[in-house]
Amino acid sequence: MKTLTHDQQINLTLRVLSVLEDWRLTSADKILLLALPDATRSRSIQKFQQGAPLPFDEIVHTHVDHILGIGHSLRLANPRNAAAGSLWLHRPHRRFHNRTPMSVMLEDGLDGIINIRKEIDCSYDWITDQQAQRPD
């Protein structure tokens, strides 16, 4: 994991919280998606929104990276309708056994987040497939 400066941490914190806000999530769901420590209280989200950086360990950084990737892909898929991405995340989907993409991410953790990213970001899916096919 690349070491981030304090300003970079704040920038990433504000960007990812903006994405999660667009997705209409509760503070508890934001904490879960970001893989913040169990002791993190819901009111901590407000501190992060006011400029305190997230605790960027490797796990949180990985979750942030995937969440930002999903947000970017949803915006690319729906450039004229900012709300469409949130609607897609909250509607049952046949590929997820009629679960919503959001419930897949919340219930399945990092694996669920990665599965949603692969579904919405074909280039990420292609890259991970290529890496998996490389002989060691």
pLDDT tens digits, one per residue of 76-127:
998 899 899 999 999 999 999 999 999 999 999 999 999 999 999 877 655 5
Structural domain for 29, as ranges:
6-133
Note the residue count of the chain: 136
What's the rounded mean pLDDT across residues 31-55?
95
Domain-embedded: residue 1: no
- Is the pLDDT at 129 greater than 90, yes or no? no
What's the number of domains the chain is made of?
1
Model confidence, pTM: 0.88
Distance (Å, whole) CA 28 – CA 24: 12
Domain-embedded: residue 72: yes
pLDDT tens digits, one per residue of 7-41:
999 999 999 999 999 999 999 999 999 999 999 99
Total Cβ atoms within 10 A of residue 54: 23
Give backbone dihedrals phi and psi of 97, rounded to 5 degrees, phi first.
Answer: 55, 45
Tell me which amino acid residue 71 is: G
Name residue 99's beta-bridge partners.
93
